Every structure is written in C-alpha cells, then in structure tokens.
Structure 1
Amino acid sequence: MSYKSIVVHLDTSARSHQRLEMALQLAHRFHARLTGLFSTYVPPRHAFVVMAGTAEYYTAHERLRHEKAAALERLFHAEIARAKVGGQWVAVDGYANDVVPPYARLADLIVLGQSDPTDPESFIAEQFVEHIVLSAGRPALLVPCAGSAPSPGKHVLIAWDGSREATRAVHDALPFLEHAAKVTLLTVHTSGDQPPRARIPGADIALTIARHGVKVDVRELNVEHGASVGDVLLSQVSDLGCDMIVMGAYAHSRLHEVILGGATRTMLQSMTVPVLLSH
C-alpha cells in the first residue's frame, strides 16, 4: 500500500512554502504525483455592494490574489522539477469549503496547514481545516504553524481508542507506518472509560498492523478522570521523541456547526508535530 496521489493546499500564508516542501518530500518518498491546490480567502462580492468605494477594493484584492497565485505557481513548477516529482498546479476560485473538497477526494492524502492566529493570510474559510478533514473522505496530514517541520514518519505515535475513526486512521496511515523506524501505539485510559470488554485492545490492532511488516510498541497509560487526552498525547510525543501522530477525528454536526471531540480540538489548536487525521 502506498500514496500515489497527494494534494497539498497552498495559499498566501507565511508557512505555505514549508508545507510545499514537506509535500514534495512525501511525494518523493512514496513515488506519488503531487497536486498543488491554490485556494485563499475570497471576500464575498455581495458584502461590498452597499458600501461606496468598496468595488475598487474588491478589484484590487482580486488582482493581488492572482499575482500571488502566479508567483506561487512558478515556485511550485520549479520545485517539482528540482525534486523530480510529477505534478500539476490547480488554482480554484470560490469559497474554499465548497471548492477544495472535490479535489481532496481525488487524492490518497491531502496536506493542510494548521491555522495560524498570528498570520491573517492563513484564514481560508470558517473552520476550513475541520471541514476538509470531515468532508474529504481522505486522510489529512496537518502541518503545525510553528517550529520546523521536517518530513515526518520516523517515529509515529498512534492514538488508539478502539473507535471506528481510530481504526480508519490506522489503515489510512499504513504507508507511513510501513516506512517508519519506530511505531508506538498508545491507549489512554481514564476512570470514565467504557468497560474493557467493549474496547478493542491495542495489542489486537497492533497484531493487524504487524501483518504489514510493522513492528509496534504497545503502551497503555492511566490518567485521572477529566484529564485532557489531547494534552496527554502531546506530552507523550515530547517524552518519546515522536515526530508524527496518527489519530481518528471524531465529530458531529449540530445546527450546521462542526463540533469536534476534545482530543481533536486540542490537536488542531496545539499540535507540535504533523498529525494525520482520518474520519
């Protein structure tokens, strides 16, 4: 199993070039074709109709957006030529939550950037990352907005809770697991957990993974009731020296608002290493 088509979302944010570099490394590792998908925040035209002089602002915004897209496209083609990776450039117009998912669904893996509160250019759409993760039907690799982000996957931490989402994430991450030097599968127990018989043990899913030639170190951790599982995972990443997390993304919709599970929210806000999320 391998990823043969990778889509990397690109925009005008400061971390876009680093995200492209990681996607290039992954495309080279997996012998995959890389699509650079350019999509940025597009202000709704109707919002400017009622204000005098805003038509000129909208036109100037569009012109600047196309200029930045052209510069990034030139960089993309230069970089895939340098890396000897096959690829294509796609620039899409429109509301990102509508126009990005169809391209993400055509890929084996989509690479996204974490929203950066210090960089206004990283805002693409309301709950953009959450929307893509939950609607694409494909695994999404999220790149942190802080720190250096070398190609991940040397030591992978799997967050295992026996759920459908975690199971999906494990299988979606198999190309990474098969290339990893070390894989740690961690189950975090709290006093409010379901009875042991209702949860698939980590050792059982580790045996399934091992049939793919992956050696897995199975760990269990007991924490106090009310402890943040997301914070526990991030602490373990630091203690064990992991460079990537694999986990399921749990969510449901309430009144058209995406409501995420606690561990998923923590990762989206505080990730320190790339996180592969699958739903």
Structure 2
Amino acid sequence: MALKDLLAVVDTADKDEQFVQDVLRFAEFHGARLTFLVLSVIPSPDYVGTFGPPYIVLHDYTQAVEAKQKRLAELTHDANVEVRTISELPETIFASVSVQARYADMVLFGPSEAYEYPPARRHSIENILFASGRPVLILPHGHVPHAVDHFAIGWNATREATQALRETMLFAAAGAKADILVLDGRASAKGHGSEPGADIAHHLARHGFETTVRPLTVDDDLCQGDALVRGARQHGARLLALGAYGHSRLREMILGGVTRDLLDGAPLPLLFAH
C-alpha cells in the first residue's frame, strides 16, 4: 500500500528547520499529502511542573504560535501541504494528537533535538502509539528519502513486533531484503518456536521478501536498542521496525527497554508500532 496521507508533528520553536525540509522531501518522494501539526500547549502550572516554562506570559505564547504558522506557510508553498495547530491545555493536547493521527497513514517525528521540549514530544509519540492505531516513523537528521528496498525488524515474536512488521510490509518495496534481528532469542512454544526467527522468515519469504535471520547478542557496552541499530546498519538496512512498549511504560521507565532506548532517534529511520 502506498503512503497517501502523512502527519508531521512539530512544536512552536524554531529548532526543526532541517526536520521540516526532511519531511517535505519525504512526502514529495512518496507523492503523499502532508499535514504539519503544530503543538502549542497553553501555558499552565501543570505544564511548567512537568515540562518546564515554555513562555513567561501568554503574549509570548501567542506570538510563538503565529510565528511558527507564518514560517511553515513560507516553507510549504504547495497545495498538497496543510498546516494545523492544536492549542490546548496539557491534560488534553496529547489525546488530541492521537485523534489527528488516526487520519494519516503514518506519523512523522524528528529526533529529540528538533524540539524545544523533548518530554512533550515523547508524550505525543506515546499517545499516538497507544491510542491511534497508527505507526510512528522517527526520521534522522538530514534524512534523504528512498525506496525501502532493505529493512530490518527487531523480532521478539510479540504482538507489537508483528504489528510493526505489518506496517513495514505495507510500504516496503516488492522483493525487498528483510533482516530478522533476533536479540538473545530462545526457543519457546509460546514465542519464537523451536528456531528463533525461522517462522517469521518463512512468512516473509512467501510474500516475496528476501529474508535473512540475524541472531544478535547484547555486548556489555551496548543497550538492547543500540545493538538492534548496529545490527540493522551493519548489513545495510534502510529502516529499522520495532514493536513499541511490549512492557508497560512504567516498567520501561524503571528498568529500561528498547522503546525507551530509541525513542529519541537513531542514525536510520525507526518505525514504531504498538
């Protein structure tokens, strides 16, 4: 399935010029309609306590919203690009983001450094993953779009990984190479089966993909997320797909996890699905 509707989430700051250009190229490459969604959280004591003070007074907040809308309008002289703004209180804005995401094939984010308030970015991603049913694609800085003719999937035989693979299969090139990255895989009747990665590799092969199972182990100096990124890049994958939040968000926050490790971004595009 081709990508026809893309939603790119930005904030009211001016740190995302490269991301805006990357998204415009990505949408043009796929021939997709693009909507920029500007998050402008209304200043409130709750926001300040959680994310830090975005603006000193409401007047500064209003000026920032207007400046961002003007800047995006100047950069997007295209009938196939729309700019929307959500201005709401912290307790409602992230739920509104997930509603907007339901009307796109995919939601695009830049790396955390492209946002003035990375915690707000993270909350937006989490709500989209849990409440919209749509995948999130995090683009690296300066991404050049190309056909997905070689992708990697972090495969742990979970529902979340299955969903990430399904989303990737929908827009990957026909006959693409598919690396099945199995991190510390163990045979299990309720998971990997007798040979970790083999069953999903056979499934992908029946869909015409050129599959390779690549067992990975975590070195002492790498976290799980870094090990998956290294495994994907080592063999030339153009995209890494991952199931997001296989454990609860609280557990990943306390103990760590692949989603937590990689949500800030990586040197290659990361597709998350839940």
TM-score of the superposed pair, with normalisation by structure 2 = 0.79
**Aligned counterparts of 1:179 and 1:22: Cα–Cα separation in 2:** 24
> Structure 2: which 5+ residue stretches go unaligned?
49-54
Contact 1:8 1:19 in 2 (8 A): no
Distance 1:260 1:224, change over 3 A: closer
**Aligned counterparts of 2:149 and 2:159: Cα–Cα separation in 1:** 25
Distance 1:211 1:2, change over 3 A: farther
Which segment drifts farther, 157-166 or 35-44? 35-44
Which of 184, 188, 201 is the aligned partner of 1:189? Answer: 184
**Partner residue, 2:51:** none
Percent identity, aligned pairs only, is: 29
> Structure 1: which 5+ residue stretches go unaligned?
49-54
Q: How does 1:169-208 map to 2 (within 5 A)?
A: 169-178=164-173, 181-189=176-184, 193=186, 195-200=187-192, 201-208=196-203
Is 1:112 the counterpart of 2:109 in the alignment? yes
Question: 1:212-233, CA deviations, whole angstroms, 9 ceiling, x for partnerless residues?
Answer: 3322222223457997321211
**Partner residue, 2:44:** 44
Distance 1:254 1:47, change over 3 A: closer
Which of 237, 240, 248 is the aligned partner of 2:235? Answer: 240
Which of 131, 144, 166 is the aligned partner of 2:127? Answer: 131
Is 1:212 the counterpart of 2:207 in the alignment? yes
TM-superposed CA distance for 1:36, in Å, is 1.7
Is 1:100 the counterpart of 2:97 in the alignment? yes
Contact 2:239 2:268 in 1 (8 A): yes
Specify the SS of the correspondent of 2:248: strand
Distance 1:47 1:109, change over 3 A: closer
**Aligned counterparts of 1:108 and 1:262: Cα–Cα separation in 2:** 26
Distance 1:178 1:56, change over 3 A: closer
TM-score of the superposed pair, with normalisation by structure 1 = 0.78
**Partner residue, 1:24:** 24
Question: 1:94-126, CA deviations, whole angstroms, 9 ceiling, x for partnerless residues?
Answer: 14313211110111111012322x963555366
TM-superposed CA distance for 1:276, in Å, is 0.2
TM-superposed CA distance for 1:57, in Å, is 2.0
Distance 1:245 1:136, change over 3 A: same
Q: How does 1:139-150 map to 2 (within 5 A)?
A: 139-144=135-140, 147-150=141-144
Distance 1:270 1:10, change over 3 A: closer
Contact 2:135 2:271 in 1 (8 A): yes
